[in-house]
Chain A
Amino acid sequence: MASMRDIKRRKQSVSSTQQITKAMKLVSTVKLQKARSKAEQTTPYFNAMYNTICGMLAKAGTVNNKYLRDNGSEKIGVIVITSNRGLAGGYNSNIVKMITGSQMNPSDVKLYVIGHKGGESLAHKGYEVVKDYSPVMEAPTYADAIAISNDVLTDYASGEIGQIYLVYTHFKNTVSQIPKLMKLLPAEIDEADVEKAKSASAEALMNFEPNEEEALELIIPKYVTSLVYGALVEAVASENGARMQAMDSATNNAEEIISDLSLKYNRARQGSITQELTEIIAGAEALS
């Protein structure tokens, strides 16, 4: 049985860890609320953008645009959004698994990384990291999203990469965040949504100014940017949600360990008192 001093020391160490996890939980709760309202404000823009693009593609299905056809490159560009800090449960490793578990061959993949954690572990696994935008994760702005999508689209236009994917964590609600892999280009939009847009727009024939091709060329980069921005904002909310949950269970576990240790400590104390008493009584008996 461990000595009283050992148990006491361990109890102290666990309770100071618990204080840290408790504080982290509070911090991420506050951050989550902020990030969540920001994510909610982004949704209308994102939805309107998606609907417009659906409507355009429904009619422009045959338009020959550099963003819509295959450019023949084998390479796949992947935008990976993870966090800069750990202690968020499975948040980062889920994203990494999403990529390693996909059909993509590591030698064909070029990564555009946002967030140190995912970048480091993927680089370690042999993926090529082309660019790192990790500082963006602290407070993503729309300007950051423009910078990222510009770089990626330049590489796409020049034939460096043939496909663009986006991997991020979708914020479903506070307790559930789902890692998602999404194909950005060549544009692939849900058939059902296109059909819906087709039937809706059959009544109102949409005109484009400048013509469809030029409009698409201007609008698709904006579409990609809005997706990247939406993903960034959602990822921040997910990160804090994941951390809040992880820290909550860590705090609970610490609580459990502490109560266990208290029990052991009290037993050891009781044991030592009993032993002392027995010794004194035995000594007294020996004297008489």
Chain B
Amino acid sequence: MADNTFKVSIITPERSFYEGEATMVEFNTACGEIGVLPKHIPLTTVIAPGICTITEADGVKKAAIHAGLAEILPDKVTLLAEIAEWPDEIDVERAKKAEERAKNRLAQKEVGLDVLRAEVALKKALVRQEIHQTR
């Protein structure tokens, strides 16, 4: 095994989503986007909705991940995602509807509106649509 790869596993509550060797992983965290190369310092961080790009020796894989936490070790990255989807698993119609709903809710500014939740919903919908276009 070459020295410049590391183990990546993405686990969701429903299944083991991805398991493999990669040269680089990029994803969104609560503090912004990060790209992880082999021998990264140990880091635990919180995942924000976004596209996760896994660069393997022979190609690039993309997936949408929403919420969860990531544990990064020098030779292994574990993403504990609450939801993870490959581009072809995404229901675009549903995502579009969700986008509209979230936008409406944010526009109306009702009393007692959970702004944070609506924003997260909007972001999830946008991420889903974006990754659907890349396939």
Indicate whether A208 sits within 8 Å of B14 (C-beta atoms), given known contacts A48-B78, A222-B68. no
Pick out which of these stretches binds chain B: A96-104, A105-113, A199-207, A254-262: A199-207
Query: Given contacts A41-B14, A142-B13, A204-B74, are A222 and B69 in contact (CB under 8 A)?
Result: yes
Asked if B95 is an interface residue, CB under 8 A from chain A, the answer is no
> How many interface residues does B have (CB within 8 Å)?
25
Residues of B within 8 A of A225 (CB): 82
Q: Does A209 contact B (CB under 8 A)?
A: yes
Q: Name the CB-closest residue of B to A230.
A: B13
Contact (Cβ within 8 A) A45 B11: yes
Contact: A52 with B15, CB < 8 Å? no
Interchain CB contact under 8 A, A206 and B15: no
Hey, which chain A residues are within 8 Å of B15, CB to CB?
41
By secondary structure, the A interface counts as helix
Let me know if A42 and B14 touch, CB within 8 A: yes
Q: Are B13 and A229 neighbours in the complex by a CB distance under 8 Å?
A: yes
Set of chain A residues within 8 Å of B12, measured between Cβ atoms: 45, 142
Within 8 A of A (CB), among B51-107: 67-69, 71, 73-74, 78, 80, 82-83
Taking the complex as formed, is A210 at the interface, i.e. its CB lies under 8 A from any CB of chain B?
Answer: yes
Q: Which residues of B contact A45 (CB under 8 A)?
A: 11-13, 80
Interface-central residue, A44, A56, A205, A210, by most chain B CB under 10 Å = A44
Chain B residues proximal to chain A, CB less than 8 Å = 11-16, 29-31, 41-46, 67-69, 71, 73-74, 78, 80, 82-83
* Sample of 10 A–B contacts (CB below 8 Å): A44-B11, A45-B13, A48-B71, A55-B44, A208-B43, A209-B44, A210-B46, A222-B67, A222-B82, A225-B82
